[in-house]
Structure 1
Amino acid sequence: MNKQIIFNLPVKDLDKSKAFFSALGFSFNSQFSNENAAFMVIVDGSIQAMLTTEALFKTLIGKPVVQAKEANEVVICLMCDSREEVDRLIAKAAAAGGRIPHPPEDRGFMYDQGFEDLDGHLWNLVWTAPQT
């Protein structure tokens, strides 16, 4: 079975969020997108996200939408191939209007840094040394 991860994120302005994530190099599948949702491809074939307007998201959950700039329920962690990829994506996130809440953390065997997207969702980018 080909397993995939697809998560849904509520966004205030779909066009601005698409521009932000496009600046990071993520693409969108128009076949599964419309004026209320955009199917974002993070890793082709395995990790995707559905960016949905808050109005649509609310219909999916039947309860209030958490305002991620005020409270978080999850941190989305993406593994990167190198320290340089972590730094490159962080720089792109900052240039596209994301907030960088802390400096990178270098533990030798692991390097990570996070960013907050336009809606306050937290993303952590991590590189780990290959196991020998």
Structure 2
Amino acid sequence: MTRTIFISLPVTDLAASTAFYQALGFERNPRMSDEASACMAWSEAIQLMLVTHAKWRTFTQRPFPPAGTSGLMLSLAMDGREAVDAIQRAAAAHGGQADANPPEDFGFMVSRDLADPDGHLWATFWMDPEATPAHA
């Protein structure tokens, strides 16, 4: 089996979250989805499992983080600056928050963070490896 990462996220509204991630470019895998979860593919190796709170409780009994807090941020490499901007517009238009943190532009790299409808954070970035400053 190919090494694959499955990221599981608890969501309050499965249908709305599925539509949100589809708007960002994730593809729903119906074979791995049901009434309590949606498998959303970013690539062949990166799968996002959106799960209802009830299904999440079958994974763990640990408490949900308080609203407005974050325990992690996932990052998505984009094809260019316009792709970074486009995914931010899609997030804002589909119930998420664009620029959940201040955007950064280092010339060789741009980064903009978004939050999904449940507040899960995603960094979207583009970097030109040829223009990356040399590290000492």
Normalization by structure 1: what TM-score?
0.91
| CA–CA separation in structure 2 for the residues paired with 1:105 and 1:71 | 21
Is 1:95 aligned to residue 100 of structure 2? no
SS at match of 1:60: coil
Give the Cα separation in 2 of the matches to 1:64 and 1:56. 14
Q: Distance in 1 between matches of 2:90 and 2:106?
A: 23
Give the number of equivalent residue pairs.
130
Contact 1:54 1:65 in 2 (8 A): no
| Unmatched tracts of structure 2, length 5 or more | 132-136
Partner of 1:79: 77
SS at match of 2:83: helix
TM-score normalised over the length of structure 2: 0.89
In structure 1, the partner of 2:122 is 123
> Matched residues in 2 for 1:40 and 1:92: separation?
16
Moved >3 Å (runs of 4+): none
* DSSP-derived class of the 2:119 partner: coil
Q: Where do 5+ consecutive residues of structure 1 fail to align?
A: none
Distance 1:3 1:119 in 2: 28
Relative to structure 2, which stretch is displaced further, 115-124 or 20-29? 20-29
1:24-52 deviations in Å (ceiling 9; x for gaps): 12111111111100001111x11111000
1:103 CA drift (Å)? 4.3
The 3-state SS of whatever aligns with 2:42 is: strand
Partners of 1:58 and 1:64 within 8 A in 2: no
Sequence identity of aligned pairs in percent?
Answer: 41
Q: Which residue of 2 aligns with 1:50?
A: 49
